[in-house]
Structure formats: structure tokens, C-alpha cells
Amino acid sequence: MPAAILALCGLTTLTSCSKDDNSIIPTPDEPVVINCVKPDYLRAGEKVALISPSYFTPMENVEKTAEVLRGWGLEPVIGPNVGKVVDGKYAGTVGERVSDIRWALNDPSIKAIICNRGGYGTIQLIDQLTLAELRESPKWLVGFSDISTLHGLQSRAGVMSIHGTMSSFLAKGGTDKTSTIMRDLLLGNVPRYELPAHKENIQGKGSGVLVGGNLCTFVPNLGSQADATEGRDLILFVEEVEESMHNIDRQMRILQMNGVLNRCKGVILGEFTDCGTEFTYDSVEAMLHEMLKEYNIPVLCGFPAGHGDVNLPLVMGAPVTIDIREDGATLQFDIEGTQREVRTAGITATPTPSAARMIMAGKRE
């Protein structure tokens, strides 16, 4: 395992140490314990920040997302630097992107943060933020893809976050299941997912802390303060887009060599969208099944999250239980909230009836 410096709120090691000691370096025999707090669920009228930590998003998409949030009964506020473009891609300089994160964290009236899009760039922010500032202002942070870096930082700071859809998708209207299930999660309805059987599943039951995200985003963060995979008793979530099978194998081997898979109590494989087929495996899941079967842990395949048309929300840093059976599987978040069964079979990107103003009536879809 690479050496990494820890900040210890929400994190402990197997050795005793001072609360203010930020210099503990874990060894392979001393994995981190990730213990995250859950930010408060949202209430009608509360503010949600829209920021761009990675690539820029057209302001038209941001403004449409703001309208969706208003329809949900929330008050959107747009980051001061949103709309800027640097080097043709980035949503501002490193300093400007970090500034918008701090702006959202430091404003007590802002209760959640939704990222506008991923792309690339959050790895540039790792050493610009401290775990203490994330810890001191526990707020829901929502995003996926390149935002996996920020999920790692949140988990290491001891704060749960949501791997979920962003402005680039919400701008389409916000009435599809991907969006409304995330909306309901922010409001306190916690999904308990029921999934159909998958031929590459590995049966069993496991509990642990959910970490991971986009594979080629979080693997380069190994050893940094954004590396939540240094924890023990993990449920690892992995998804990818437009990557070759051999590069997916390479990244998983890196996790293997760093002891991450030995610390897993289970694995969730999300969408592998437009990924290569250069080997004779039927699918990426089939390839990973062969790698993971030696660990004797449950593996849940085909969870609809990632870069596909359906991207159901996951609570990163949360304790979760997966139960994979011959006839299907269950994914449950063991956190406070109103548990609500969600059957993933048949969920498509087709919009559902408008959910506008439902929050105002105190209802849930």
C-alpha cells in the first residue's frame, strides 16, 4: 500500500493516536477505518449550489438545471466562477474551481452541492483542499465520473456524498427516474435497490463502506488524501466508459497489487459503457468475474450507475449491505432515512410524469 497522510476526523487507525495528530502514516497492517457522517436531508426552500469542478458546462445547461431545482421546491445558487472556460476545457483555473467549492462549503445557507459535469480536472484539486474544511461543513455533494475524486475526499474527511447525475443530464428536464430517485434521496427517501439476476454475479452477502466510482479516475488517486480505498471492510463500486478491456484489467490489477481487493467485503460493478471487446470475454463483467472469484466475496453485476442512460444514485461513504442470490440481488444503505424499495428492472431513461412542486406538498414520488 502506498504511504498516505491521514486527517483523522471520521478516520481512525488500529493504533491509538491524538485527535489532532494529522501525521499518521498507515501500514499494510493498519488500514483506515472510514466512518462518515450523513449530511442533513434537504427541506423545501433550501439552497443548492451548482458548481463546475472539472470541465466547463454551457450556461444554458446550468440555467435549465436551476429551473429543475426550483420545480423541486429548492433554491439554486450558481457558483461565482461557473461559465468560465480556461484552456478550452476547464471550468476556470484551479484556483477558481477550488474557490467555488469553498464558497459553497462556507455559506451556511447552502445545504447541498451539485456538480455541473465531470470530464477531467479534479485530480488538480486534491492538494488544494483540506479534509478539515470538508469535515467542518458536511454537505451533500453530488456528481459522478471525474467527481469520483471529490467523493474520495469526502469519504476520507468523514462525510457521505452522492454518486449521481449532474447538470449535463438534469437539464433534460429532471423528470426521469435517474433524476427523481436522486431528488427523493436528497429529501430523505433512501432507495433499497432490488436487482434482477445477472449471469456474472457471485452469490453471497457482504457489508462494508461504499467507495469507488469511475475506475480510471480514482485509481490514480491511490496514496493521496482522496484515496478512500485505503479503508478496511469496503464495498467497492466500479464503472467505466470508453475504455479498453486491457486498461480496465490494468487498473484492477493496480488495486489488487495495492491490497485493495483484499480489504473488500464485496464489489458492485456498474455500467461499462462503450468499452472495448478486444479479448474473447463476453463482457467486461465476465473478465472481472474471473479476477474476483478467488476472493470469495459477493460480486453484484449490472448495477445501473455510470455513463449509461440510467444512472441511479449511490451514497458513497455509507455503510451498505449487498445480498446476491440466485434469483436476484439487494443493495441496501444502512443509514437513517425512509427506506423505499426501488426495482431496477425496467427502469429506462423515459421521463416519468412531472414531479414539479411535489416537495412543496410534502410528498414523495
Element (H, E) at 123: none
304, three cell numbers: 445501473
Neighbours of 37 (CB within 10 A): 14
Grid cell 474544511 in the structure block, residue: 133
9, three cell numbers: 476526523
List pLDDT tens digits, range 180-213. 999 999 999 999 999 999 999 999 999 999 999 9
**DSSP annotation of 41:** P
Note the pLDDT of residue 29. 56
d(CA 264, CA 267): 7
18 versus 292: which is more confidently predicted? Answer: 292
pLDDT-derived band at 351, boundaries 50, 70, 90: low
List pLDDT tens digits, range 88-101. 999 999 999 999 99
Beta strand pairing status for 204-214 and 319-325? antiparallel
Whole-angstrom CA distances from 16 to 7, 13, 311 are: 14, 7, 40
The sign of the torsion formed by the CA atoms of 275, 280, 286, 290 equals negative
Note the pLDDT of residue 14. 31
Beta bridge partners of 333: 320
Burial tier of 172 (Cβ tally within 10 Å: 0-12, 13-18, 19+) = middle
Beta strand pairing status for 189-195 and 328-333? antiparallel
d(CA 332, CA 339): 9
Note the pLDDT of residue 33. 84
d(CA 289, CA 269): 10
- At residue 55, the 3 state secondary structure works out as strand
d(CA 231, CA 13): 9
List pLDDT tens digits, range 92-149. 999 999 999 999 999 999 999 999 999 999 999 999 999 999 999 999 999 999 999 9
CA-nearest of 173, 226, 222, 187 to 353 is 173
Whole-angstrom CA distances from 127 to 49, 180, 231 are: 22, 34, 20
Per-residue b/e over 129-148, b at no fewer than 16 CB within 10 Å? Answer: bebeebbebbbbbbbbbbbb
d(CA 76, CA 62): 10
Q: What is the DSSP string of 143-197?
A: E-GGGHHHHHHHHHHTB-EEE---HHHHTT-S-SHHHHHHHHHHTTEEEEEEE--
Note the pLDDT of residue 4. 41
Task: Report the pLDDT averaged over residues 331-336.
Answer: 98
Q: What is the DSSP string of 206-221?
A: EEEEEEEEEHHHHGGG
Note the pLDDT of residue 300. 98
pTM for this structure? 0.89
Burial tier of 201 (Cβ tally within 10 Å: 0-12, 13-18, 19+) = buried
d(CA 50, CA 61): 11
